[in-house]
Amino acid sequence: MFKKRYKLWSEDPYFDFETREELKSIKDPAEIEDRFYMDLEFGTGGLRGILAAGTNRMNIYVIRKATQGLADAIAECGKEAMTKGVVIAYDSRRFSQRFALEAALILAKNEIKVYLFDELRPTPELSFAVRYLKAQAGIVITASHNPKEYNGYKVYWEDGGQVPPDQASKISKHILSHEAWDDIEPLTVEEARFQGLLITIGEEIDQVYLSQIKSLSLYPELSQKEGSSLKIIYSPLHGSGNLLVRKVLKELGYTSLLVVPEQEKPDPNFSTVPYPNPEIPSTFDLAKKYGEQHNADLLIATDPDSDRLGVVIRNTENQYVQLTGNQVGVLLAYYLITQKKALGILPPKATLIKTIASTDLADALAQDQGVQVENVLTGFKFIAEKEKELDEKDQGDFQFGFEESYGYLAGHFVRDKDAVIASMLVAEAALYYKQIENLNLLQVLNKIYEKYGYYLEDQTSITLKGIEGKKEMAEIMTGLRGADIHSIAGIPLERIDDYELGIGKRLNNASSEDKYLLTLPKSQVLRYSFVGGGFVMVRPSGTEPKIKFYFSIRGNNPDLLEKTLHDVRNDLLGLVSKILGKPLD
């Protein structure tokens, strides 16, 4: 099969000259097989892959086919859905603008209206625009924080959230129904505009989006009066956050803001960082340099599509300390809950939503404050879906949501993680505690730890590429599922939740197990909860060739946590190595 596909792509004139020449230059049969043995999979978030020619890569032909599948799914919804149209945004990655236009012109060929942003924009603004324009769907061309070799295609539905699983399945079936690769042609730009099917949008959406973000400020007067006292260094990491993050902060009063000049402009090669991911400490090297020069209080960085935010705080010894995603999530949850309480505006059904991979410290904090907590599967789409469900059933009033991988959301106007919103909230929280309580955010975090216990989180990923990698990931999950595990590094387990089977079990002792049904959708995830708090979780990534291991250690003595974490990690990864029968890289 893959040889037949390779022959078509490398010889048929439907594929452009560059594509054919690229494929003809490949000498390694294994490389040809990897490019063509499968179609790049359309999951619940869409597509993501390496930029190259082939059915298992990201290129204009894969974009065309995916968009034709989306067009078929929209047409199935009727003429009104086609008229409501699709909003399209893109980031600074290679071919993002071209892919966005290609998708727009395929939709137009199917008589579906398209709203295309005039320049790169944050992913959360796309979510907002779908809701604001009452569109049927949205597309954003991005690979988020992945390396420069990647790009992606994320699909949103009419509620502004990532396309739900049932709808994603329909789109996927339509994509797969188009077996041929050389029969999908886009409309021309001129014809699409003439027919009123291609509409450019931009600043008018920005203004409404930013006004909504500013409405989330709890202390706008404090920001206007004292905002200039908070010195902020910001890096958009060569991506789409630059204009809007700067604009919202300056309009609120944070005028002592400097953008890292080397990382300000769009750059598809992300030439100043190893990966454009604010989770990686080295992405803050330049920001720290400017922070030290200007004695900055706060360093922030957004990833290329500006849906993730990294935060670095200057401590009392004038050292810069990077916060984890869990720490930022807990700080923002604490700030919003306690200050809304103090202002008398916390609603009776106030609800915090987080993922099962995120720290249980947030659960303890929220429950102590009388706030409902909802835990969902990993992936911000599940947070957005839960927010929608709570709203429709009047079961909760969403206040804040977060995941450990640097994603945060407040407000009801966006249905995805939003680093523009998070930038504003972090700046306001830092200003409030500096001006009102004479504390930095690290000191606030320590207050939280002292009250609810100390938590230390970390994550380890093992990269397993290609066909063999998929087999090894399945082997790991099967091996762990079949292992008789009652403790990790000597710490006893309270329960094991197997989300693929939909069953959890309490480990009372070696001979007694109480089983119970899990309520979340089935997913290839194993979560081991320790007696006394904390957990270990294992899941293959849905967007990268990796299997991820999440560690959360709780204790009353912070000095012992690092060693405990080290021991737990080594014990678990040692078991994984045994399952694979080889040492881990």
Indicate which residues carry an active-site annotation.
144
156, 384, 540 from 522: Cα distances, Å: 22, 18, 14
End-to-end CA distance of the chain: 32
Cα–Cα distance for residue pair 146/150, rounded to 1 Å? 6
Q: Cα(456)–Cα(567) distance, rounded to whole angstroms?
A: 13
Q: How far apart are CA 330 and CA 363, in angstroms?
A: 9
Which residues lie across from 372 on neighbouring strands? 351
What is the distance between the alpha carbons of residues 426 and 434, in angstroms, rounded to a whole number? Answer: 12
Backbone angles phi, psi at 137, to 5 degrees: -155, 175
- In 3-state terms, what secondary structure has residue 394? coil
Q: Is 308 helix (H, G, I), strand (E, B) or coil?
A: coil
Calculate the dihedral angle through the C-alpha atoms of 553, 556, 560, 561, rounding to the nearest 10 degrees: 20
Q: Are 54 and 35 in contact (CB under 8 A)?
A: yes
User: What does 474-531 look like in DSSP terms, one character per residue?
Assistant: HHHHHHHHHS--SEETTEEEEEEEETTTTEEEEEEETTEEEEEE--SPP-S-EEEEET
The identity of residue 540, as a single letter, is P
**Strand ranges (DSSP E) for 221-376?**
232-235, 257-259, 298-302, 309-314, 320-322, 350-355, 372-376
Cα gap 346→68, rounded to integer Å? 45
User: What H or E segment, with its residue span, contains residue 409?
Assistant: strand 407-409
**Burial track 488-518 (b if 16+ CB lie within 10 A, e otherwise):** bbebebebbbbbeeeebeebeeeeeeeeeeb
Among the residues of 144-303, which ranges form H helices?
165-177, 189-194, 203-214, 220-226, 242-252, 285-294
Query: Which residue type is seen at 483?
Result: A
